Amino acid sequence: MEEIWKRIETWLAANAPDTLADLRPGASDADVRKAERALSVSLPADLVESYKVHDGQRGGSGPLFGDYALLPLEHAVKEWKTLKRLRSAKVFEFMSGQPAPKVKADWWNPRWIPVASNSSGDFLCADLDPAPAGKPGQIVSFLHADAARALVAEDFKSWLSEHAKALEAGEYKVENGWLSKSK
């Protein structure tokens, strides 16, 4: 995981230094355990490794992943608790998702752990309760106003690695301090 982050950091240093400076230092083992207790889960090893390198973004620059910023563990727990309260209040009761084959047809599932946010109620989540054909730890989309539930990546490491490749291949440009996909 450190190698993938080094590649991203190198690209950011040359192209988006404000985004690089926005990355938080790594989370401690105690931080990870605290988040896991609050979420009542064991986080996937690749996600934990990533959080030990960078515990999300501070929020003082544009998002690292186009529209999505990497959530600090503390914010991931806060967003998860909000979604859990909405589910408990039966806000999602009459809604169902339109999932990819490896994703359950839930509007939101308490074992979907937000890892990135677009600050508009949409998240990319580590799916710890996949459909039978899925894999625990896969990354799925949760769109608050859309039933689509896409499989984004097989796991966090794959997702982060693909982002590093996209940066290095010139698929992103920086406009006014924000990373966006090149046309």
Mean pLDDT of 129-147: 93
Listed in sequence order, the residues at least 6 apart from 166 whose beta carbon sits closer than 8 Å to its beta carbon are 172
pLDDT class for 45, splitting at 50, 70, 90? very high
Which of the two residues, 152 and 89, has the higher pLDDT score?
A: 152
Q: pLDDT tens digits for 118-136? A: 999 999 999 999 999 999 9
- Helix, strand or coil for residue 20? helix
Question: CA 141, CA 127: separation in Å to the nearest integer?
Answer: 9
What is the pLDDT at residue 96? 67
Contact of 51 with 76, CB cutoff 8 Å: no
Q: Please, what CATH class does the domain formed by 2-174 belong to? A: alpha beta
- pTM here is 0.93
Mean pLDDT of 150-160: 97
Instruction: State the chain's maximal CA–CA distance in angstroms.
Output: 48
Q: Average pLDDT over the chain, rounded to whole?
A: 93
Percentage, residues of the chain above pLDDT 90: 79
Contact of 151 with 103, CB cutoff 8 Å: yes
Which of the two residues, 143 and 92, has the higher pLDDT score?
A: 143
- And the tokens for 163? 């982002």
Residue 68 DSSP code: B
What is the pLDDT at residue 95? 67
Q: Which helix (H) or strand (E) holds 75?
A: helix 73-88
Q: pLDDT tens digits for 52-69? A: 999 999 999 999 998 999
What is the pLDDT at residue 97? 66
